[in-house]
Chains A and B, each alone.
Chain A
Amino acid sequence: QKEVEQDPGPLSVPEGAIVSLNCTYSNSAFQYFMWYRQYSRKGPELLMYTYSSGNKEDGRFTAQVDKSSKYISLFIRDSQPSDSATYLCAMSEGDRGSTLGRLYFGRGTQLTVWP
Chain B
Amino acid sequence: DTAVSQTPKYLVTQMGNDKSIKCEQNLGHDTMYWYKQDSKKFLKIMFSYNNKELIINETVPNRFSPKSPDKAHLNLHINSLELGDSAVYFCASSQVLRGGINNYGYTFGSGTRLTVV
Interface residues in chain A, defined as those with a beta carbon under 8 Å from any beta carbon in chain B: 1, 8, 32, 34, 36, 38, 41-46, 49, 51, 86, 88, 90, 92, 94-97, 99-103, 105, 107-108, 110
Contacts and interface: CB of A to CB of B under 8 A. Distances in A.
A3 to B, nearest CB: 12
Given A90-B105, A94-B102, A107-B41, A100 B48 contact: yes
Contact of A43 (B31, B42, B103, B110): B110
Interface of B: 4, 31, 33, 40-45, 48, 50, 55-56, 90, 92, 94, 96, 99-111, 113
Contact of B42 (A95, A105, A110): A105
Contact of A102 (B56, B104, B107, B110): B56
A51 B42 CA distance: 23
Contacts of A108: 41-43
B40 A8 contact: yes
Contacts of A99: 56
